[in-house]
Amino acid sequence: MNREELKRRIRRILSSLIKLAAAMIALAALDAMFGGMKLETFGLLLDTSEIMGGVRLLAIIYYGYWILKDSLFFLDLLSDILARKFGLGEKGNLRRAGLDFLYLLSTALAWFGLSPFFRLLPDMVIRVISVLFILISLLFVYDLVKTVYSMLKISFESLVETLSELLGRELARRSGEEEEKVDLTHDKVKKG
């Protein structure tokens, strides 16, 4: 991997992000100006908001493809670097956590891109689709948390061990003080 290849990928991610943001802003502005107008094309009566929603979805798919493609490359590179730097052994968990995050982002973009079309569907179908998106998102969040936990499990277990040892010493110290008080009181009774 040479430096020119890295520059090309970085340039493509940044330009795709900028183009996607510009397209979303332009489409939102056009939808605000012309939304609600009806156009008749090939005998179909279409709302301009539906057309803008379709164009929005196409922009998300096109630019999102390039963003995700190059992001996966950098995710692999980053997981290699972090695995070596922190001695995590295998990069698989880091890559999996990164993929879960990208999948969450993709799910959010899909929701954003498809949401204009939901107006065309009955309420019950919209609810079912919403629940499916939520369940898919929760699945990715669960897997992300589980993966991060498995990566940090050793550190977490060490932290739990240290805290329980400190609290155990404090309880033992307090328990020892109470036993001394009882013994001192008992000794006074014997002497008296």
pLDDT tens string for the chain (192 positions)? 688 988 999 999 999 999 999 999 999 898 888 877 887 777 777 788 778 888 888 898 899 888 888 888 888 787 777 777 766 556 677 778 888 888 898 888 888 888 877 777 788 888 898 899 999 999 989 988 888 887 777 667 777 888 888 888 888 887 776 655 555 555 554 554
pTM exceeds 0.85: no
Residues 6+ apart with CB under 8 A from 36: 47, 48, 49
Contacts of 84 (CB under 8 A, 6+ apart): none
Q: Return the structure tokens found at 158.
A: 């060490």
Contacts of 1 (CB under 8 A, 6+ apart): none
Query: What is the span of the domain harbouring residue 172?
Result: 3-191
The residue assigned the tokens 């940090």 is 152
For 175-184, b/e burial (b = at least 16 CB within 10 A) is: eeeeeeeeee
Split into its structural domains, the chain has a count of: 1
